[in-house]
Chains A and B, each alone.
Chain A
Amino acid sequence: MTNVEVSNLCIRFGSNEVIKDLNLEVHAGEFLVLLGPSGCGKSTLLHSIAGLIDVAAGSIRIGGKDMTWAEPTDRNIGMVFQSYALYPTMSVEGNLSFGLRVNGTPKSEIQRRVLRAADMLQLTPLLRRKPSQLSGGQRQRVAIGRALVREAGVFLFDEPLSNLDAKLRGELRRELKLLHKNLGSTMVYVTHDQVEAMTLATRIVVMRSGNIQQIGAPADVYERPENLFVAGFLGSPGMNFLDGKLTISAGSAIFSALNMSLDVGAYDFRGPAATGQDVILGVRPENLMLQHDGAWEAKVSLIEPMGNHHVVWLDFGGTSLSSIVSGALSVAVDQNVRFSVDVSRITLFNRTTEQRL
């Protein structure tokens, strides 16, 4: 079991500072997902842990040892790439065993590890094939296998599923989760896909322009986003936002916007909130319910059938809101409907700092 400690990390490309003063600890045995939009530095961070990018300042410790300037191969890591990066001229077996052959591992040991990995990933019948004779899913399995045979302390995944089609992605996602459960190794996984992040992670690290926005368990990050960015990035469709004002008087707190007012007295404020300040109310689509006796009225602008549920888009005084309706749908486009909000699951943000209140 190996942990990774990244402290005060800075990475520059020319004069461009991609990552600035970043601190992160990956606990031993956890599945840590780095999540963020493209260009947020998540892949750069992963590559620096792998030793493929030079660090400008700071240190990286893997398993307690300082690896900041160690060669990639000496870092006790295995890595899986987005483009699979299989050696085209070698067979599957050759691909799996290359690293071990380089390190001069005894033949019998190579044999044992290759067969074990192949067995784990259902690659045994494919060992003699060349990568060009494999499907996308099989190729990525080989790439995972290549990382497995190293029996490394930390596995690094750089968007490994984004080149696959939706169905295969789901399958391999489950296989990865199972693999983590069986091996119990430390895994660091980069993705921009929030579904992958939510389903796989022990902890999610949400990143934006080289900074960590929030670290937490998937449910935590989803339910209690630190700021507006995290709230908007997770969830599909995204969280609904309503601009309004907060009025606090004698122990009660009222959020008011347009022709709507909501008693948010039950909200778990982080600190004392000032009355009269501009705030943003965040409501997840599943917590915005269409009800006959709902407090507010809006017009249905669009309905998206998703098979097992519908996403109903509402026009609420010019603001677009979405609601997830499971089960039978009783509304139609252009119809006026009433809705209510589950106050226990809302989030309030300061409008200027965009931080959670």
Chain B
Amino acid sequence: MNRKKRIGPARWGIYAFLIVSALFFMMPLYIMLVTSFKPMEEIRLGNIFAWPVSFTVEPWVTAWTSACTGVACEGIRGGFWNSVWIVVPSTILPILLGALNGYALSFWKSRAADILFSILMVGAFVPAQVMMFPLVRILATLGLFSSLPGIVAIHTIFSMPVMTLLFRNYYQSIPQELFNAARIDGGGFVRIFLQLMLPLSTPIIIVAAIMQVTGVWNDYVLGLVFAGRDNLPMTVQLNNVINTTTGTRLYNVNMAATIFTSLVPLTIYFVSGRWFVRGIAAGAVKG
């Protein structure tokens, strides 16, 4: 190598800025981690940046098994499993329906297809809060209010515009000739979808799954309103843990519970950063 790698002042500036920003955004996570491993006596000293002196996992155990979420004191593990039960069907169902929608809109074009798609897109811009009360009434009438099927239905409905857009854009890039070939080979609506299009959709299914899992897991309002007492998701339970005050605030337990709650989205972000960005790009650029 004849050329020396020279790092100029501009480079230094950029690196310095990036490092400082990274540190700034890492700070809360650091404080949470450190605090969650401290006993309360140490926290009371007020040095929130200090490394724990007498290291303890007690707050983690408490947060998981015995922290009080309102009247019950069983930790947030119940919330964790509630969230899992909500997330799994609320991911599979919207993906299947969104793929079906996108497939029908892309290949089985009817006169109304474009109108239908436009309506669906307008739906994406109506704030969820506007529909909240009518939906409560509807679900109550159907007997689904405050139930697991109810909250799954709500998540499915609210995710439909984005899921449809995602799959429609993906299927638009598949040549029409492929579909025509399958029709000549005798494939019907369902068979072409299941045997040809769905196996081709792996990349977009991964993207959609990431978006759905993180979105549903982080949801608070819908879970609070529609899930009902027995199915409250982890985010709601976390809020209850933090706001339940009997005596002193157990900051270490609160921190541990918060980290537990954010573990699922955090893992997904770390593991699938590339896919996640691709999903956002697919939704934004081609839409």
Contact = CB atoms under 8 A, between A and B. Distances in A.
Contact of A88 (B180, B185, B200): B200
B181 A81 contact: yes
B196 interface: yes
Nearest to A81: B177
B89 to A, nearest CB: 26
B134 interface: no
Contacts of A62: none
A103 to B, nearest CB: 5
Interface stretch (A71-79, A252-260, A306-314): A71-79
Interface SS, B side? helix
Interface string B156-175: 00000000000000000001
B180 A102 contact: no
Given A88-B200, A89-B199, A79 B186 contact: no
B181 to A, nearest CB: 4
Interface residues of B, number: 16
A79 B199 contact: no
Contacts of A89: 196, 199-200
A73 B186 contact: yes
Contacts of B185: 73, 98-99, 102, 146, 150
Contact of A79 (B184, B187, B195, B196): B184
Contacts of A102: 185-187, 191
B22 interface: no
B178 interface: yes
Interface in A79-100: 79, 81-83, 85-89, 98-99
B128 interface: no
B199 A146 contact: no
Contacts of A47: 180
A77 B184 contact: yes
A154 B86 CA distance: 53
Contacts of B180: 47, 50, 52, 72, 79, 81, 85
Contacts of A146: 181, 185
B16 interface: no
B200 A52 contact: no
Interface string B178-216: 101111111100010001100110000000000000000
Q: Which of B181, B182, B184, B195 is the most central at the interface, judged by chain A CB atoms within 10 Å of its CB?
A: B184
30 contacts: A47-B180, A50-B184, A52-B184, A71-B183, A72-B180, A72-B183, A72-B184, A73-B184, A73-B186, A73-B187, A79-B180, A79-B184, A81-B177, A82-B177, A85-B177, A85-B178, A85-B180, A87-B178, A87-B181, A87-B182, A87-B196, A88-B200, A89-B196, A89-B200, A99-B186, A102-B186, A103-B186, A143-B181, A146-B181, A150-B185
Given A83-B175, A85-B178, 13 more contacts: A52-B183, A72-B183, A72-B184, A73-B183, A85-B180, A87-B181, A89-B199, A89-B200, A98-B187, A99-B185, A102-B186, A146-B185, A150-B185
